[in-house]
Structure formats: structure tokens, C-alpha cells
Amino acid sequence: MNSVSTFGAFTTARLGIFAAQKGLDVVGHNITNINTVGYTRQSLNQISLRVGGYDRYQPQNNAIVGSGVLCTGVSQLRDPYLDIRFRTEQASVGSADAKLAGLEALSSILDEVGKGDGSGVIEKQFNDLITQLQNLNTQGTGQAEFDALVRSSAATLAKLFNSYSSKLDDVTQNQITSLKQEITAVNDLLKNIRDLNASIRRSDIHGDNALELRDQRNLLIDELSQYMKIDVSYGTEDIGNGQTVEKLIIKLAGANPNPGADRTDKATLIDGIYGTQLSFKQEPTANPAFDNTKPASDTNPAYLKADGTPTNVLADAEMKDSTNYDLVLGQLTDARGKIHANADGTLSTAVNLGDNDLYGSLQSLREILTEKGEYSTTAEIAADPNAATKRGIPYYRNALDALARQFATALNDANTLSDDVIYQKDAGGNFLLDGDGKKILKPGYANYKGGNLFSNSGTGNDVSNITAANISISLDWSKGDVHILASKAENATSQDNSNITHIIALMDSKLEYRPSDVAAGAGNTVSFKGTFQEMLTNIGATLANDKKTTATMLTNYVASATELNTSRDSVSGVDLNDEAASLMQYQKSYAAACRLMTTLDEALDKLINGTGVVGR
């Protein structure tokens, strides 16, 4: 017959007291950690105890009673689904936040609103140049001081372009520094998660759930999810003798929108006690003198050594960080440097991440540094279908270069005449030369002082590849050898200012801007048509729209992440009302178990000392 022995009831009461005490311990632990960041509410795990097995000869009228309760451990109250949703949203928050920070840095330079007494710095200087041209037109071209005033205004405008470009360089360096700092932060997180995995694994082997270590790990995983989109999964690892322990695996969550791409965006970051580290992809330093129309050879070396000498041996070339800031995931290693072995026995290898393999703050920093928007090449758009809509520093630099080049080209063309027009030729069509070998001007152009007004350096007159960084008034204009042409007509009168009028009108003409004008391989379609000042306004408006859109997205992402985190806290966080109810529950359970013990004692006392006693 299977039944609880007479004294077995005391064990039942004792186990009840022990369970109630443990429950009170867990509640107390929860309450004292109510303000601990990352703490997950804990719960006591209990099972009903029954001693003995099934008795085949047991009478049907015998009631089988259990033997009390057992505490099997303490667990955390977490919702894995909410964790996944929250961390996915965190990647969006990190992405939008990093992008907005980069756009705000650009806004401090390119946003002309509120600068220059409300009219913008470069905008105001364009207006000043127009005013000086109008004064030159009305006061007469023969007065050198008015030409000097135009030249001074133009020089100031060129320096403003130079200044803006230089400030873009500063923003670029700051973004590079931020990217490197974030890579360091990510590497620290990956290392700490890997080491916590090792500690939790050791605890699991010895029967300890290590809940506090898991809380630390969850905090690190939450932080990691802002830098990149991740996929977190929990499996088991067989450690032999039929024993298994938990194994945490973290992978990239597949951010690449191109289904045909090599899916390196699902690469493993953490595999149990093994973890990777991020670094920049290394590239050999290119030889600027290399002729890419010919094959690389010893006579046409493609690389440079660290000392600057050319070489055609890749192993001898100086290696530098990728100009596209491409990232590499290193081999999976443990804390001692042991390389992880795959299921097939091969060792873990480094993974070169593609341009779209990441999503989060790391990717946004990369895109601020690399994305060209409408100035993207055909190859870049083929690699990323969204490249033409992503605008980083290169886009705004190209846009500013396009404005500077268009401005310089238009005014240079307006102030020059071809040699065929102004120089004398013989019957054979050859230019006539004087005794010094110089071309002879036609009589009608004897006082010709035209020429290029702007160049790519203040020390010369070269007009090739003018950008915002190098635009300058030409050397000849600065020396006074070139003036603004009043007229392009032969034998023009002193009252003919038609060319100055043309230049003034040019300042208000709508010109076409094509990406291919400043970016080789970019599209040749018209990206904008307008005046110089309208182009400047368009740059600022594009930046403002990008900034506004990103700020709106960030607000939405933060709201969604906050809501999800609140939902997580409703499950995982400590609630004083719930804990107070648990306190009452365990206190009453403790008191009841103690009362059971007392009752059993009284019953046995009666049984032992009061049974069979004959009254006297």
C-alpha cells in the first residue's frame, strides 16, 4: 500500500516551510533590485513531490497523497518575442540617430538659413558680386577701381567655397573618428558577451542558472542591437555524459535587400564561447602614376610601399583602411585565441561584409561617409538599387563642386574669346607671330584684356577640374593682366558694355546641372536647372528635407522602441503590487506550513500519550 508514513507528514510540512522561505527570499531579491538597470524579475520554480511508485496491488479505496513540494530552481520572467521586436527597433533607432547626427553636422555648414543677416553667407556674397558688376556697368569699364571691386568680391566668393569645402573635410574626419569609436565599442561588446557566455556556461555545468550574469548579457545585447541588426537565438550544447548547457548564438539579421548578393549579412558574431571582432578592410596603397590603360608590371607598378617607392608586388605594398570603409568580421575565437571549428571540421574564416550587409548606427555612419546620391555611378547603383537616394557627405561635396564649376565655367566663357577670333592669320590659316614669337592681335582687339577669371589655383590660370575646394581667381586676373570684358565686339566703342550686361544676366540665367559634370561614371541626365543662387538653395533644401525626414523617422522609431520596452518591463520588470501580493502569499503559506507542523505534533502527542490511557 502506497501511503505517507506517520512521520512523513512532518517532511511535507518542512518542505512547505522551506518553499515559502525560498519564495520570500526571491521576492525580497526582486524588491531590492527594483531600481537595478537591466534586472529581470525572478520567479521560484516549484514541483509537487510524490515519493514511491505505482503499487499494482493497491486497494481502490486507498487515497494516494503526495509528499509535499520541491524547489527546482529560480527562473527569469522574459518574453523572447518582445526582446526580438525591441532589438529590431533599436537597430532602426541607432540608424536614424546616427544619420541625423551626420546631417546636423552638415547643416552647420551648408544650411544658409539664418546666416549672413538672414540671407546666407554665400548667397549674400553672390548678391554682392552682382552689385559690383552693376556698378562696373554703370560707372564705366575704364575705371580700374570698379574692376578691382568686382575682383575682390569674386575672390571672397571663391574663398567661401574653399571654406565650406574645408569644413566638409572636418566633418568627414569627425565622422571617421565616430565610426572608429563605434567599431571599438562594438568589439568591446562582442568580447564581453563572449566572456559572459563562458561564465554562464561554467555556471550551467555546476547547476547554477547565473541569472545575474544573464541580466548583464541581455543589457549588452540590447546595446549591440543599436549598432547593427542582429538575430539572437538560444540552443543547446552537448558537453558529454548526456549533459547539455545553453548556447547563445548571435548573427547579423540579414539587412541586404539584394537577394542575389552573397549573404554575408547573415554572418555569425557570437557562437557560444567564440566571438568575432570588427575591423576595416585593408587595401594596398595605389600608385598615382599607374597607367590603368596598361597592364601592371615592373615598369608600370600599381602600388606604393610604405616609404613611397612604387612596387608591383602586392605583399610589399603599404596597406591602408578601405576608402569605402568596408568592414571585415574576423575569425571566431575564444578568450584564449582558439579558433572555432565548424561542423565540418574546417576552421572559422574572416568574412568581408558587403556595402549593404549592415543596418544600424554603423551603417549610417558609413553611408554618411560614402553615399553620393544622384552622383552615384552606374556600378554603385547596380550594387545598391537605393544608392541614388542615399545622400552623405560625398553628395553634398559633389553638389557644391558642381555649383563652383558651373559658376567658374560660365564666367570664364563669358570673358574669353577664342584665338581664331582675336588673332591675325595668314592666307594659309596660320597665326601671325611677332618677333618674340607671340601671336599678333587683330587691330580691332588691340586692347583685348579678356581671359579666364577663375582657375583651380591662385598661382596659375588652369581651368581644369575646378571644385569648391580649389576655385580661385586666376593669376592673370589677380595681377591685372586680365579684366572683365566690356564687350566682345571687334572695334567696340567705350560705351559698349554689352558683355558686362551679359555677365549680369548670366547671374540670373537658369543653367543645367548634370551629375556627370563632376563625377565620372555618374548619370548624364539633368538633375537640376536654375540660377547659381537657386542651385545653392536647392543644396540647402535637399539637406533640410533629408534632415526633416530622418528626424521624423527617428521620432517614430523611438516611440515604437519605448512602447516595446514598456511592454518588456511589464513582463520582466519588478512591480511592487505583484511583489506585495507574492509576499502575502508566501507569508501565509509559511504560516500555514508552520501551523501544519504544530497540528501534526499535537495529533502525534495525542496518539502517543493519550491513546489507551484508562481514566481514573
* Cβ pair 317, 284 in contact under 8 A: yes
Query: Edge-to-edge strand order for the sheet containing 278-280?
Result: 278-280, 327-329, 351-352
Mean pLDDT, the chain, whole residue set: 89
* 4 has a pLDDT exceeding 60: no
Q: Half-sphere exposure of residue 73, counting CA atoms within 13 Å on the CB side?
A: 8
Cα distance from N-terminal residue to C-terminal residue, the chain: 39
Tell me the whole-structure pTM to 2 decimals. Answer: 0.87
Q: At 613, is the pLDDT very low, low, confident or very high (cuts 50, 70, 90)?
A: low
Q: What number of helices (H) and strands (E) belong to the chain? A: 13, 17
SS3 category, 40: coil
Query: DSSP code of 64?
Result: P
Q: What is the DSSP letter of 338?
A: P
Check residue 1 and give its pLDDT.
44
| Cβ neighbours of residue 303 closer than 8 Å, sequence gap 6 or more | 284, 285, 286, 287, 310, 311, 312, 313, 314, 316, 317, 318
Residue 117 has pLDDT above 70, yes or no: no
399, 135 contact by CB (below 8 A):
no
Largest pairwise CA distance in the chain? 163
As a whole-number percent, the residues of the chain with pLDDT over 70 amount to 94
Q: Is the pLDDT of residue 140 over 90?
A: no
H-run or E-run covering 68: strand 68-76
| Better pLDDT: 115 or 457 | 457
167 vs 53, more confident: 167
How many Å apart are CA 552 and CA 558, to the nearest integer?
A: 10
Alpha carbon distances (Å) from 576 to 212, 234, 407, 429, 570:
20, 30, 69, 100, 12
Give the C-alpha separation, 77 to 578, whole Å.
13
pLDDT band (50, 70, 90) for residue 8: confident
Q: What is the distance between the alpha carbons of residues 280 and 284, in angstroms, rounded to a whole number?
A: 13
Residue with cell 602600388: 303
The pLDDT value recorded for residue 241 is 82
What are 4-11's contacts with CB under 8 Å, separation 24+?
4/51, 4/65, 4/67, 6/604, 7/604, 8/51, 8/67, 9/596, 9/600, 10/597, 10/600, 11/67, 11/68
Q: Where are the domains of the chain?
A: 8-77+575-610, 91-170+391-557, 182-389
Weakest-pLDDT range from 172-181, 261-270, 540-549: 261-270
pLDDT value of position 459:
92
Of the ranges 14-18, 114-118, 553-557, 571-575, which is most confident?
A: 553-557
Amino acid (1-letter code) at residue 520: A
Give the contacts of 183 (CB within 8 A, at least 6 positions apart). Answer: 278, 279, 280, 327, 362
Give the whole-angstrom CA distance, residue 81 versus residue 596.
43
Looking up cell 548578393 gives 261
* 446 neighbors 428 (Cβ within 8 angstroms): no
C-alpha cell at 552: 521624423
Q: Strand, coil or helix: what is 574?
A: coil
Evaluate if residue 281 carries a pLDDT over 50: yes
pLDDT higher than 70, residue 616? no
Provide the 10 A C-beta neighbour count for residue 451: 17
- Specify the pLDDT at position 260: 65
Q: How far is CA 374 from the centre of its chain?
A: 20
pLDDT in the model for residue 338: 94
**Burial class of residue 482 (count of CB atoms within 10 Å of its CB; 0-12, 13-18, 19+):** buried
The helix/strand/coil state of 304 is strand
Give the pLDDT band of residue 425 (cuts 50, 70, 90).
confident
DSSP assignments along 78-89, one per residue: --HHHHHHHHHH
Contact 397, 405 (CB under 8 A): no
